[in-house]
Amino acid sequence: MRQPSARSFDPTEHPHRRRNLLNGEWVLVSPHRTKRPWQGQVERPPQENLPSHDPQCYLCPGNERAGGFSNPAYDSTFVFTNDFAALLADSPAQEISQGRFFQAEAETGTCRVICFSPHHDLTLARMEGADIRRVVDVWAEQVTELGGRPEISYVQLFENRGAMMGSSNPHPHGQVWANRRIPTEPALEDREQRLYYERHNSPLLLDYLHAELEAGERIVLESREWVVLVPYWAVWPFETLVLPRAPITHFPAMTDAQRDDLADTLKQLLIRYDNLFETSFPYSMGWHGQPTDGGQYPHWQLHAHFYPPLLRSATVRKFMVGYELLATPQRDITAEQAAQRLRQQSEVHYLTAGS
């Protein structure tokens, strides 16, 4: 192997790899590429002037859904079983095996939709704190209910925000998928957290948080109970990790104070996202907590991932293609640069800053 140059290494200028502590994978950081010109895809900005109620929206109160069912006239959150669920509770449960090269397993479960608000024109960033707190409670209720079923091993809470991240409807909503087996990403995180705990007798993410707080350069915002940071190994340009300061293995274990503070922390983070490029920021986010299969998980620490695709502006996004698909994930701006830009954003939403 050719030896690297003797020049002094600068992580803000020179390519390097960073290891993801949670899944064991690597990301290539190429900060010098931020200087390249862009002549690629330019996205259309999302529509900002949505109505409070859209009679054509299948998630609005009182409307008929795509599956033929009608929504009640709900005035807060509303949860229903997805009319086109990816997982079915009544699928055949027998194991499937087709030999050495063609392996498959039956998978069962259920999928639900969580309408965050009856108002079609809102996002979590623009909802009142009390209404976001209600969403937090619903997340906990769903994990408690579905995770308490003996046939469910993992409950995944997530939200796809914006058409750029695959959302088929602008109405504020998220989803919950409950699986018979632990899915791939949580299983990888379980492995890495378990290995660390066996070596150090301490949860990985708690120790990591302490190190990040000491370093300070990737912190986006702090509250009494929660910290938002750009992880050292971030793949998406403005990816963030939401971590509790105290040991919490899963969503239902949160205290009232932690839930109140989380609602406020989420609002502050999402306002910063929107203010960055003055647009309704697209993202995929999800909560990872301990599996619900009855095992022992003292090594787990609850956390949320935010994966936003925007790179340079409201219309230029990061594409995961080519090298990312065939070799390893790659990013241009460093995690430290991304955290600084988010940290500098106002806590007042740009749509209301002038009023």
Three-state SS for 12? coil
120 is catalytic: no
Choice among 120, 171, 173, 303 that is catalytic? 173
Q: Are 228 and 220 within 8 A, CB to CB?
A: yes
Distance of CA 90 to the CA centre of its chain: 29
Task: Quote the CA–CA distance of 234 and 169 in Å, as a whole number.
Answer: 28
How far apart CA 275 and CA 337 sit, in angstroms, is 16
Question: What dihedral do alpha carbons 110, 111, 114, 118 form, nearest 10°?
Answer: -110
Q: Which of 194, 182, 287, 187 is nearest to 241 (CA)?
A: 287
Q: Cα torsion at 347, 350, 352, 353 (round to 10°)?
A: 70
Residues forming a β-bridge with 82? none
In eight-state DSSP terms, residue 218 is: T
Whether residue 195 contacts residue 213, with contact meaning beta carbons closer than 8 Å, is answered with no
| Closest to 32 measured CA to CA, from 349, 333, 351 | 333
Name residues whose C-beta falls within 8 Å of residue 297's C-beta, 6 or more positions apart in sequence. Answer: 190, 249, 290, 291
Active site residues: 173
